[in-house]
Structure 1
Amino acid sequence: MTLAYWCVLAAILLPYAFTGFAKFQGGFGLNENKNPREFLEKLSGARKRAHWAQQNSFEILPGFAAAVIIAHLAGTAPQATIDGIALAFVLSRVLFGICYIGDWASARSLVWFFGMGCIVALFVGVAG
């Protein structure tokens, strides 16, 4: 498996780290797990922002996975390039979550645009 494919797996698992922060920061009881969506919607502050980071991470995941798969199938870009862009995307998503939880809205937006740029780069890189 290529590094880019491993990055897809990392991007699939990353939202659960944000969910974990939202759920387990400050304690977690079994009753909260009976209605987790309701519980997450009632959070506030950093925990609520972690939940939002989780949601955004799931929203962007299909585009990233498709871009990696298409880049591999096209076979026109060097594997090292695909791997590097995929790794940059995953790192941007980690940074995005940190910015979201930290309530650094402007930095978060910049990091989000960088991540989207990585997805576009995977498509454009294979167009050649």
Structure 2
Amino acid sequence: MTFAGLTLAYWTVLVAALLPIACAGLAKWGMFSKPRREGGYDNHNPRAWLAQQGDWRARANAAQANSFESLPFYIGAVIIAHQLGAFQTRLDLMAFLYVVLRLMYILFYLADMATLRSLVWTVALAVNIAILFI
């Protein structure tokens, strides 16, 4: 299945690449209009500001970091699977499943559900490895 010349698996690469940006936005949500001196977002020193955050903002930032960390392996697996001529429908389904699992991972991270988050992370890793060897 293709749209605009890209397979569904390639479109999931775009979605996966946008997930860390979405996490960063969540971490900063609602703090742009608040003055810096009152704890609002500090665009002059964003990493230090994020490091001072707690609760769900800190978890959103951690989800951002993990999303960036998982991205190179996922992109590589999808490209390698395409190059090796993987059965497209299977690849598309597994790539879609990977993105759904990463979304669940982010939601569980935000909700502070550590055990479920780790379980979903493990399953997503297994799916990524499976994509590589399709």
* Common fold by TM > 0.5: yes
Structure with higher helix content: 1
Q: What TM-score do the two structures reach when normalised by structure 1?
A: 0.92
Find the residue that maps to 1:34 and give its secondary structure: coil
Aligned to 2:57: 47
User: Is residue 81 from structure 1 mapped to residue 90 from structure 2 by the alignment?
Assistant: yes
> Per-residue deviation at 1:30?
7.1
- CA distance, structure 2, for counterparts of residue 81 and residue 15 of structure 1: 26
- CA distance, structure 2, for counterparts of residue 90 and residue 56 of structure 1: 14
Find the residue that maps to 2:133 and give its secondary structure: helix
User: Is residue 122 from structure 1 mapped to residue 127 from structure 2 by the alignment?
Assistant: no
- CA distance, structure 2, for counterparts of residue 122 and residue 53 of structure 1: 22
Alpha-carbon deviations, 1:32-58, whole Å to 9, x = none? 111111111111000100000000000
* Gaps in structure 1 of 5+ consecutive residues: none
User: Is residue 58 from structure 1 mapped to residue 63 from structure 2 by the alignment?
Assistant: no
- Count matched residues: 123
Whichever residue aligns with residue 3 of structure 1, its letter is L
Q: Please provide the CA RMSD for this pair.
A: 1.1
Find the residue that maps to 2:66 and give its secondary structure: helix
Alpha-carbon deviations, 1:89-120, whole Å to 9, x = none? 11111100000010000000010011101111
Q: What TM-score do the two structures reach when normalised by structure 2?
A: 0.88
Larger radius of gyration: 2
Identity between Structure 1 and Structure 2 (%): 44
Q: Which runs of 4+ in 1 moved over 3 A?
A: none
Q: Is the 8 A contact 2:81 2:133 kept in 1?
A: no
Alpha-carbon deviations, 1:6-63, whole Å to 9, x = none? 00000000111111110114x2257511111111111100010000000000000000
